[in-house]
Amino acid sequence: MPSIDLESEQGREEALRRMLTIRKFDTKVGEHFADGEIPGFVHLYVGEEAVGVGACAALEEDDYITSTHRGHGHCIAKGLDPNLMMAEVFGKREGYCNGKGGSMHIADMDANMLGANGIVGAGPPLGAGAALTINQKGEDRVALSFLGDGAVAQGQVHEAVNLASAWDLPLILLVENNQYGEGTPVSDQHNLEKLSDTAGAYDIPGIHVDGMDITAVNEAVAEAREHARNGKGPTFIEADTYRFHGHFEGDEELYRDEDEVEEWRKRDPITDFSERLIDRDELTEEKFEEMQAEIESEIEDAIAYAKDADEPVPEEAYDDMFSANVPDIERFVQQANARTDGGTHGGEF
């Protein structure tokens, strides 16, 4: 059973709902980032929703995923809670990583989500590792690694594909080709017209799909999943898509022009999918608007939740380094505390 069955009307509604949730979540994150309320950098997934949702819908809940620095969409597609995600993005202790990770590192082992990742190309080896566990333990599940077109240039990605191919690991590589690696066009980073041709070098299936079409992505991943479950090893999928925002919020976008962005915006994956549902009489304009309003208010709630949540207290910075306390860290903190005036390291150790 896929986690969301796109063959059923209910499943299609849920898929649309998740795409809209991603859209609203990231749009709001962009606004609050611009207001200076969110630290660090944020990379939004707006425009790419069909890839994340189409792919995760084809997975079962206990399948693993690894994500990228652009991970909010993958998290929502995999079913993570927007409240806890937002709290993490705001750096609060209620967040998925207790405020230690932030936007680029949201992870949830309960949802089999092995983390967004600040290192481009680091996900596929981890995905291969999850797939190794699956094989070793004789489990019936798969791992899927999302990666960007830019990440395909990373050596560790190729090592992971080769390993998965040599060992027939149940791994799916899903390249989100949004046409740019940061500010450099995909054509300047690769000499391959189709990144999915990479598959040929490893003698595994390569599939190229329209990443603005949720059904196309869903079918490709479903097929790859079957292939993996049958012990036939990895599949390399490339989905063509586009990010409607800059690489990160605040990006001046010196590298692309408005016309190009407008052209792609016309192919909005959410509009495309909702129109198809309306054509099939599964959705009405009013219902669609109602849904948008509902999700808008869910995301407003998530923002309120995040803002109300507690700041981590400074001493928590020393938690989570090891499974048990080690004296070394304590020692340095104590030394820093051995002073007359209290000061910044105020904790009890």
Partner 1 sequence: MASAELEGQETQTMTVREAIRETLREEMRRDEDVILLGEDIGVMQGVLDVTGDLYNEFGPDRVRDTPISEAGYMGAATGAAATGLRPVPELMFSDFIGVSMEQIMNQMAKMRYMFGGKIEMPVTVRATEGGGMGAASQHSGTVHTWIAHFPGLMAVTPGTPEAAKGLLRSAIRSDDPVFFFENKMIYEQSGEVPTDEDFTIPLGEASVEREGEDVTVVATQRLVGESLSVADELEGDTDVEVIDLRSLYPLDTDTIAESLDKTGRLVVADESPLSYGTQAEVVSRAVEDAFYSLDAPIQRVGVPDTHIPFSPSLEGEVLPDGDDVRNAIERIA
178 binds, among partner 1, ligand TPP, none (CB under 5 to 8 A by kind): ligand TPP
Q: Does 30 bind partner 1 (CB under 8 A)?
A: no
| The residue to which tokens 């693993």 are assigned | 64
CA dist 47 and 277 (Å) reads: 19
Complex with partner 1: residue 79 or 183, whichever CB lies closer: 183
Complex with partner 1: residue 304 or 321, whichever CB lies closer: 321
User: What is the x/- site pattern for partner 1, positions 188-217, by CB under 8 A?
Assistant: xxx---------------------------
Q: Give the count of residues interacting with ligand TPP (CB under 6 A).
A: 16
Q: Which stretch binds partner 1 (CB under 8 A): 60-68, 235-243, 300-308, 327-335?
A: 327-335
Q: Does 26 bind ligand TPP (CB under 6 A)?
A: no
Identify the burial level of 157 via C-beta atoms within 10 angstroms of its C-beta, where 0-12 means exposed, 13-18 middle and 19 or more buried: buried
How many C-beta atoms lie closer than 10 Å to residue 155's C-beta?
Answer: 8
| Token pair for 198 | 């990479």
Nearest to 135 by CA among 223, 36, 208, 233: 233
| The residue to which tokens 């590792």 are assigned | 129
Least gap, CB of 314 to partner 1 (angstroms): 4
User: What is the x/- site pattern for ligand TPP, positions 136-155, by CB under 6 A?
Assistant: ------------xxxx----
Q: Does 333 bind partner 1 (CB under 8 A)?
A: yes
Q: How many helices and strands (H and E) does the chain possess? A: 13, 7
| Token pair for 248 | 């990160």
Least gap, CB of 210 to ligand TPP (angstroms): 17
Complex with partner 1: residue 80 or 147, whichever CB lies closer: 147
- Are the C-beta atoms of residues 72 and 38 closer than 8 Å to each other? no
Nearest to 206 by CA among 237, 232, 164, 178: 237
Q: Residues 227, 229, 232, 234: is their CA dihedral positive or negative?
A: positive
Complex with partner 1: residue 6 or 126, whichever CB lies closer: 126
Q: Does 120 bind ligand TPP (CB under 6 A)?
A: yes
CA dist 315 and 230 (Å) reads: 49
Q: Does 210 bind ligand TPP (CB under 6 A)?
A: no
Out of 68, 83, 145, 154, which residue is the one contacting partner 1 (CB under 8 A)? 154
- Local structure of 34: helix, strand or coil: helix
User: What is the x/- site pattern for ligand TPP, positions 179-198, by CB under 6 A?
Assistant: -xxx----------------
CA dist 163 and 132 (Å) reads: 10
Bridge partners of residue 156, in order along the sequence: none
- Interface contacts to partner 1, rule CB under 8 A: 39-41, 91-93, 97, 99-102, 104-105, 117-121, 150-151, 153-156, 181-184, 188-190, 254-255, 311-318, 321, 328-329, 332-333, 336, 338-341, 343-345
- Interface contacts to ligand TPP, rule CB under 6 A: 68-70, 118-120, 148-151, 176, 178, 180-182, 247
